[in-house]
Amino acid sequence: MLKRIINAFITVLLIMSLNFVLFRMVPSDPALLMMNRDPQTTMAVYWRNVETMGLNDSLPEQYIGYMIDTFTLEWGTSYEYRMPVFEVTKAAIGWTILLVGTSTALVFIIGMALGKVAAMRRGKATDISITGFGIFFYGMPVFWFAIVLLIIFAGNTSWFPVAFRMTPGTEPFPITLDKIIDILHHMALPTAVMTIGGVAGVILIMRNSLVDVLTEDYILTGYAKGLSGKQVMRRHAGPNARLPIVTTLAMDVAFIFGGAFQVEIIFSYKGIGWYTIMAIWNSDYPMCQFIFLIGGVAVVVANLVADLVLVKLDPRVQIT
């Protein structure tokens, strides 16, 4: 376990280094970008920016400076909002976690149920329609699917709001029941897009691993000792078929984030993804850098957690 944690830490360090290198490759002058948003644009301001941003230091010095800043929670100042990036994005992080968390939970529940049905009726019409449905939505560009749902449910029927996290002009706190309903109403479409897009992967993995498991001898033994189909499924097949899903989910966290970005842009849902794309369009590099970092760390942590969960679920797994 210790080795896993050390490896995860090394991975985080590497992500930070890549983060440093990548944004030094950007073909624009950070001091100038900072200055262009300043009302008093004089050369003095420019040189002050160069000095405060440490652009006169050598690259190794800048690198060490960046590492120290990151570990002391100094994550830089956004060009666009002229505030520390964490201040800008801290609310957005919560909103994204709400969106991603809800849809991931739904993906799990629906995906495993449908995968099970498909595996039990392998080769029949039910199986073909479930897998077909899964693959159809698996290959759908998230942003396009979001637009299609927008056309159907927000443009034509106005059952759901077109955009935003909640009715503009209201604050989430203090929480009241009306506000919760409002938030859920706004979240419905984005969550639906992410759930339907993500559920396909889980269905297919669950189906294939269950089909695999059902050929094992212990399933036959289960039937031989007089268990019903339901009992075999719950006690013998289910727990084994679920294992691959844990690992895949951890690997997929990066993809789930990718989906969240596109959904947030289409629905103007101001989460992390919305801020990222805006930051890129505005050349707001400190923001990009910060989001890049937290995204990477989130995936590393998710993988660590998946390892722990796997040990709990499968006693055969040994972590070295």
Partner 1 sequence: MMVRFEVTLDKITRKAFSRNPVLADKLGLTAKSIGRTTDHFLDTWMGKAGLIIIFFFIFVAIYARLFIEYDRFEMGIYDHLLDMSWEHPFGTDNMGRDVLTRAAEGTEPSLIVGFAAMGISMILGTLVGLASGYVGGWKDEVIMRFNDMFLSIPWLVLMIVLAAVLESRSLGTIIIVIGITGWSGTARIVRAQVLSLKERQFVERARAIGAGDGHIIMKHIFPNVVPLVFANAILTIAICILSEATLSFLRLGPSNVETWGKILSDAYQQSAALNGPYAFIIMPGLCIVFVVLGFTFMGYAMDEVLNPKLRQR
Residues that bind partner 1 (CB under 8 A): 7, 10-11, 14-15, 18, 22-23, 25-27, 122-123, 128, 135-136, 138-144, 147-148, 150-151, 155, 162, 204, 208, 211-212, 215, 251, 254-255, 257-258, 261-262, 265, 276-277, 280-281, 288, 291-292, 295-296, 299-300, 303
Is 54 or 141 the residue whose CB approaches partner 1 more closely? 141
**Which residues have a Cβ under 8 Å from the Cβ of 3 and sit 6 or more positions away?**
320
Is 195 or 209 the residue whose CB approaches partner 1 more closely? 209
DSSP 148-174: HHIIIIIIIS--S-SSSSSSTT--S-S
Burial of 50: CB neighbours in 10 Å, binned 0-12, 13-18, 19+: middle
Question: Which residue pairs, CB below 8 angstroms and at least 24 apart, start in 28-35?
Answer: 28/283, 30/55, 30/285, 31/55, 33/79, 33/283, 33/285, 34/79
Q: To the nearest whole angstrom, how small is the minimum distance from the Cβ of residue 84 to partner 1?
A: 20
CB burial of 215-235 (b: ≥16 within 10 Å; e: otherwise) equals eeeebeebeeeebeeeebbee
Q: Using an 8 Å Cβ cutoff, are 217 and 232 in contact?
A: no
Q: To the nearest whole angstrom, how small is the minimum distance from the Cβ of residue 68 to partner 1?
A: 21
Is 63 or 138 the residue whose CB approaches partner 1 more closely? 138
Is 32 or 151 the residue whose CB approaches partner 1 more closely? 151
Q: Which two tokens stand for residue 195?
A: 């759930």
CA 196 to chain centre: 15
Q: To the nearest whole angstrom, how small is the minimum distance from the Cβ of residue 25 to partner 1?
A: 5
Cα–Cα distance measured from residue 19 to residue 14, given in angstroms and rounded to the nearest whole number: 8
Q: To the nearest whole angstrom, how small is the minimum distance from the Cβ of residue 130 to partner 1?
A: 13
Amino acid in the structure at residue 267: F
Q: To the nearest whole angstrom, how small is the minimum distance from the Cβ of residue 15 to partner 1?
A: 6
Q: Which two tokens stand for residue 267?
A: 């629905």
Burial of 38: CB neighbours in 10 Å, binned 0-12, 13-18, 19+: middle
Backbone φ and ψ of 170, nearest 5°? -105, 155
Q: To the nearest whole angstrom, how small is the minimum distance from the Cβ of residue 64 to partner 1?
A: 20
Is 134 or 222 the residue whose CB approaches partner 1 more closely? 134
Q: To the nearest whole angstrom, how small is the minimum distance from the Cβ of residue 258 to partner 1?
A: 3
Q: To the nearest whole angstrom, how small is the minimum distance from the Cβ of residue 294 to partner 1?
A: 9
Question: Residues 262, 265, 269, 275: is their CA dihedral positive or negative?
Answer: positive
Q: To the nearest whole angstrom, how small is the minimum distance from the Cβ of residue 44 to partner 1?
A: 29
Is 7 or 170 the residue whose CB approaches partner 1 more closely? 7
Is 226 or 316 the residue whose CB approaches partner 1 more closely? 316
Is 86 or 143 the residue whose CB approaches partner 1 more closely? 143
Q: Using an 8 Å Cβ cutoff, are 311 and 317 in contact?
A: yes
3-class DSSP string for 16-66: HHHHHHHHHCCCCCHHHHHHHCCCCCCHHHHHHHHHHCCCCCCHHHHHHHH
Is 47 or 143 the residue whose CB approaches partner 1 more closely? 143
